[in-house]
């Protein structure tokens, strides 16, 4: 809920409390889960070094638990950090490690994490057509939403952004609208859900649909009215709304 409101500092505080309690109770799976949540919060606030530290701890737990799908996810999260850090060589090596892990799994659809990672790398490099190819492939392999661990938002968001950067506003709008309709697929990614309204505002603004642009900027700013200070999207949305 704090992520949904852009209150990352408080989200981190809750994650730390949860991790402390999991440690006290000796619940190793819960420890790994809270480490993942904390790493995501640090990733979103730009503290990539801390995010990678938490991910390394969670990775070690999932290795101990022999939980291959979660090992793949932890590796994928590492790759997301490397992309944000512009360490694209490390990101590509991480993608290759994901592919090796998927080869050990009976669930072949987990290759979507490899495809998504390569798509993010290509998007960061500015190779939009290559990025779209990989991101579309990854999205096509998503499962139905049925558990609070679902990660659909992480697959739809970069694809929508790629369409937006390509200038295909209609396809970008469709992807972002799909994201707003997610249920379990956005549970852990309230910040992505909220920022979707900001992006839809920009799209409608570019399409000269002022009423819709205002509607979406207002939704975004309502959700993030108590957000941490200094968030660029909040300041930009306020200027655009005015």
Q: Evaluate whether 63 touches 56 at the Cβ level (below 8 Å).
A: no
Residue 35: the pLDDT is 98
Task: Using the predicted structure, report yes or no on whether residue 148 has a pLDDT greater than 90.
Answer: no
Residue 143: the pLDDT is 87
Residue 147: the pLDDT is 85
Residue 146: the pLDDT is 87
* CA–CA distances in Å: residue 229 to residues 1, 4, 133, 234: 17, 15, 36, 9
Residue 162: name the closest of 194, 185, 138, 144 by CA: 138
SS (H, E, C) 52-121: HHHHHHHHHHHHHCCCHHHHHHHHHHHHHHHHHCCCHHHHHHHHHHHHHHHHCCCCHHHHHHHHHHHHHH
Angle (CA) 236 240 242, round 5°: 120
Q: Evaluate whether 36 touches 55 at the Cβ level (below 8 Å).
A: yes
Report phi then psi at 130, rounded to 5. -65, -40
Average pLDDT over residues 193-198: 98
From CA 212, how far away is CA 84, in angstroms rounded? 31
Q: What is the pTM of this model?
A: 0.96
- Residues 20-56: tens digit of each pLDDT: 999 999 999 999 999 999 999 999 999 999 999 999 9
Residue 151: the pLDDT is 94
pLDDT mean across residues, the chain: 97
């Amino acid at each position: 809920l704090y992520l949904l409101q852009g209150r990352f500092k408080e989200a981190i505080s809750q994650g730390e409390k949860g991790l402390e309690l999991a440690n006290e109770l000796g619940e190793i799976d819960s420890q790994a889960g809270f480490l993942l949540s904390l790493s995501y919060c640090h990733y979103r606030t730009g503290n990539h070094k801390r995010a990678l530290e938490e991910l390394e701890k969670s990775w070690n737990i999932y290795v101990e638990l022999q939980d291959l799908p979660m090992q793949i996810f932890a590796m994928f999260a590492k790759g997301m950090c490397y992309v944000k850090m512009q360490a694209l060589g490390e990101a590509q090596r991480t993608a290759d490690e994901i592919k090796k892990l998927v080869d050990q799994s009976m669930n072949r659809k987990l290759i979507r994490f490899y495809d998504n990672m390569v798509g993010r790398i290509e998007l960061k490099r500015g190779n939009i057509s290559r990025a779209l190819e990989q991101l579309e492939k990854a999205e096509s392999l998503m499962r139905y939403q049925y558990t609070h661990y679902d990660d659909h938002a992480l697959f739809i968001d970069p694809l929508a952004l790629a369409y937006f950067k390509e200038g295909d506003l209609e396809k970008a709008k469709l992807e972002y609208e799909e994201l707003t309709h997610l249920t379990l697929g956005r549970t852990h990614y309230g910040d992505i859900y909220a920022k979707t309204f900001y992006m839809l505002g920009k799209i409608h603004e570019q399409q000269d649909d002022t009423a819709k642009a205002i509607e979406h900027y207002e939704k975004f700013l309502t959700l993030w009215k108590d957000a941490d200070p200094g968030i660029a999207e909040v300041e930009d949305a306020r200027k655009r709304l005015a």
